[in-house]
Structure 1
Amino acid sequence: MEKAFELAEFKDEKKAQYASYYLKDEASFRWKSSKALLGRKDLSWEKFTEMFLEKYLPSYMQDQLEMKFLDLRQEDTSVAKYELSKRMVRLRRTTRKSIPSSPYHVVGLQMPEQHNVSNTSVFYGRRVSSQKVEWEIASLTGAERRLLANALLDFSNERFVLLSESCIPVYNFPTVYRYLIGSEQSFMQSFNDPSRYGRGRYSSKIQPDIQLEDWRKGSQWLEINRDLATKVVSDTKYYALFKKYYLPACYPDEHYLPTYVHMFYGTCNSNRSVTYVDWTLGGPHPATFTVENITETFMQYIRNSGLLCEYNGDWTPLCHLFARKFAPSALYPLLNLTSTVLGFQEF
């Protein structure tokens, strides 16, 4: 329709009138009723498409279609295995997102007031328009799923890391890359917390789908492989339970994915995070590191605290690839340590 309008050089005020001619049955009736309620003879094309999509293809349905596309299978093989086929190319064109290719892939949520991104930024052409996101409710988990869904559209992506603006890498890119690509599991913290901050947040309203013994807690700062990411964004049943029953202050971002992965894909997960966080101060938020904290000794401690963790069936002292939370004041002292401690080299 848009191509026809462009070819015929239709004026905007005539587009809706022309398109409405092809509406039939319920759609035609709803269009006439809507015009009458709005009290306007002529409606803009923008308003026409907004009303049509709201009724027949709302945003949540577009998301579901996109997620189903990502999980398409032929026998036991996922859609990623058929990315070069003609059928895949046609299906890819029906998705709403256009992702430029790159050796790496960064996506970020974009708030409505943020429009301009420098073309030198790693976020250029990769920002995802954000819906309203609030701490303590399921919208935060929804934002994670939207980021994953967009990153999955680039078939070259095999590992997915969720970070915030206060996170930093504590090893250089080659080390991080080898560690993640070589791992047989994903890295998502998932544990049974019997306290009021764990099981105390469980609601019987989600029974029988989720039982108390399956309830898990974990950090939202995760790293998962492509197969698990596809399963996460394809889930509609369990995410819907969290959206419906978990209102403030239930912190679904700490429970939805740890519980869902534990229930169905536990063997694929290491049950630990690769992001270092300091909770020793207590309270609802971890410690924030400022300029006074940034020393070689401190950074070396994050990289190797003396603890061992499991990696592909063996034990290793390399447990954390990233760390948080770092205040803006920590930026310059961190930059001074990039080559001497963190192993970064200028290109």
Structure 2
Amino acid sequence: MKTAKVWRLGMGDMQILSGSRSRPPLKKPMWIIILVLFVCVFLICAYIYPPQSSSACYVFSSKGCKGFVDSFLPIPKREFTDEEIASHVVIDHILKTSHNLPKNPKIAFMFLSPGSLPFEKLWDKFFQGHEGKFSVYVHASKTKPVHVSRYFVNRDIRSDQVVWGKISMVDAERRLLANALQDPDNEHFVLLSESCVPLYNFDYIYNYLMYTNISFVDCFKDPGPHGNGRYSEHMLPEVEMKDFRKGAQWFSVKRQHAVIIMADNLYYSKFHTYCQPGVEGRNCIADEHYLPTFFNIIDPRGIANWSITHVDWSERKWHPKSYRAHDVTYELLKNITSIDVSVHVTSDEKREVQRWPCLWNGIQKPCYLFARKFTPETLDNLLHLFANYSSP
């Protein structure tokens, strides 16, 4: 009986199935189809883009979990060498030591020149009436200079040969700083060339430099062949590619930074050995990279990232534009003093233009206090125009 019952049930089912052939096929509920599609999409996305939450990171793969965990773990710092530890201790101590201005703070004007200074008469006019507020130092690398201004007489320091592009340029800068630091009243140290001229009167420049707590060191990142292309891996571990910087050599630094430059041997030795023209096929220029890189590593917030000495690179040559007598007009000088944005252009194919405002204690002001390269024939024009263009 059981068998017959089962057979009848089976036959009934067969009749139902048989009858269904003449009707349209039944449609599955839409929500099941949508759910299946959603799960498929979710699985594909989870595989391509690993989960970023801690609760789900192990659902699909340990790879996604690793990425999540790594994002919260601090990047391990490399172990410093003994020399780095010693250097950092000295530098940190100098930076953290409070410093009070002397009763009569002075600016040290340091001239780096091959011989005599063609603009001494202009500088004499600039210095007149401000005795006791400045000091003058002259490093003449080729011939003994003949001075025409009383402010320059007996202000020559022991000098040595300087070769463009070589570390000897940095050595001359350090030699000037060492002599200027011997005067405890010197608070700001300005490096100038024989072709430099002042753009403002003494009072304006004195207040601009003395009442700011930063140093004016040109510094920017250039990924091109004349920037990071000059980097040598032999500078590792102390100098990494990411810290390598470029900038004009014409600096103006406060006393703390001047002392730090003299105290540094670690970073200086790296540039002394591995930053020279022709080393490893590179054309590394030490005076363009040492101080920008050095301050980017030890005190990046303590520098302005631009030089207060203007120079015109618009001709895109190895050397900047030289001004002749016919170039020197009131309009030229006023145009230079009106610039209040620092501009750098990278040396790669993109030639990226980097701009930032020249901020003095948070206030946008003119970038430049000095300018170069003026040829000796421009002296008379400059003397004639000085009283007019030098007033802010």
Q: Same fold (TM over 0.5)?
A: yes
The answer as to whether partners of 2:95 and 2:256 remain within 8 angstroms in 1 is no
Q: Say if 1:320 and 1:207 are closer, same or farther in 2 by CA, change over 3 A.
A: same
Distance 1:153 1:134 in 2: 26
What is the number of equivalent residue pairs in this alignment?
Answer: 255
Report the AA paired with residue 338 of structure 2.
N
CA-to-aligned-CA distance 1:65-100 (integer Å, 9 cap, x gap): xxxxx99x899648x77999xxxxxxxxxxxxxxxx
Does residue 330 of structure 1 match 2:362? no
| Equivalent residue, structure 1, for 2:237 | 208
Task: Name 1:198's counterpart in structure 2.
Answer: 227
Deviations 1:2-58 (A, max 9, x none): xxxxxxxxxxxxxxxxxxxxxxxxxxxxxxxxxxxxxxxxxxxxxxxxxxxxxxxxx
Query: Is the 8 Å Cα contact of residues 273 and 320 (structure 1) preserved in structure 2?
Result: yes
Alignment of 1:33-182 (within 5 A): 77=97, 102-111=132-141, 113-114=143-144, 117=147, 120-182=149-211
How far did residue 240 of structure 1 move?
1.1
Hey, what's the Cα distance between the residues in 1 that align with 2:337 and 2:95? 43
Helix, strand or coil: the match of 2:304? coil
Residue 267 (structure 1) aligned with residue 301 (structure 2): yes
Matched AA of 1:294: V
Once the two structures are TM-superposed, the CA of residue 202 in structure 1 deviates from its matched residue by 0.2
How far the C-alpha of 1:185 sits from its partner, in A, is: 1.0
- 1:163-210 Cα shifts (integer Å, max 9, x gaps): 001010100000000001111211111110010000010001111110
- Return the alpha-carbon distance in structure 1 between the equivalents of residues 338 and 189 of structure 2: 23
Return the letter of the residue paired with 1:206: M
Query: SS where residue 364 of structure 2 aligns?
Result: strand
Q: Secondary structure at the match of 2:299?
A: helix
The one-letter code matched in structure 2 to 1:243 is H
> Aligned letter for 2:326?
E
Are 1:112 and 1:129, in contact at CA under 8 Å, matched by a contact in 2?
no
CA–CA separation in structure 1 for the residues paired with 2:233 and 2:195: 35
Q: 2:389 aligns with which of 319, 341, 344?
A: 341
Instruction: Using the TM superposition, give the Cα deviation of residue 158 of structure 1 relative to its aligned residue in structure 2, in angstroms.
Output: 0.5
SS in 2 for 1:270: strand
| Structure 1: gaps (5+ residues) | 1-69, 85-100
The 1:255–1:164 alpha-carbon spacing in structure 2 relative to 1, beyond 3 Å, is same
SS at match of 2:216: coil
| 1:111 and 1:129 in contact (8 A); partners too | no
* Contact map agreement 2:328 2:378 (CA 8 A) in 1: yes
- Offset from partner CA, 1:132-154 (integer Å, 9 cap, x none): 21111111011101101110110
Equivalent residue number for residue 230 of structure 1: 259
Larger radius of gyration: 2
Q: Do 2:102 and 2:185's aligned partners in 1 also have CA atoms closer than 8 Å?
A: no
The separation in 1 between residues aligned to 2:145 and 2:273, in whole angstroms, is 32
Seen in structure 2, the aligned counterparts of structure 1 residues 323 and 204 have a Cα distance that, compared at 3 Å, is same
Identity, % of aligned positions: 37
Q: Deviations over 1:274-314 (max 9, x none)?
A: 11111110011110111111111111101113645211122
Aligned twin of 2:363: 314
Q: Is the 8 A contact 2:188 2:254 kept in 1?
A: yes
Distance 2:378 2:102 in 1: 43
TM-score, normalised to structure 2, is: 0.61
Matched, 1:245 2:308: no
Match of residue 57 from structure 1: none
Inter-partner Cα distance in structure 2 for 1:177 and 1:321: 10
Measure, in 2, the Cα distance between the counterparts of 1:202 and 1:74.
28
**Amino acid aligned to 1:106:** V
Structure 2 runs not aligned, ≥5 long: 1-89, 104-130, 278-282, 342-356
Partner of 1:300: 334
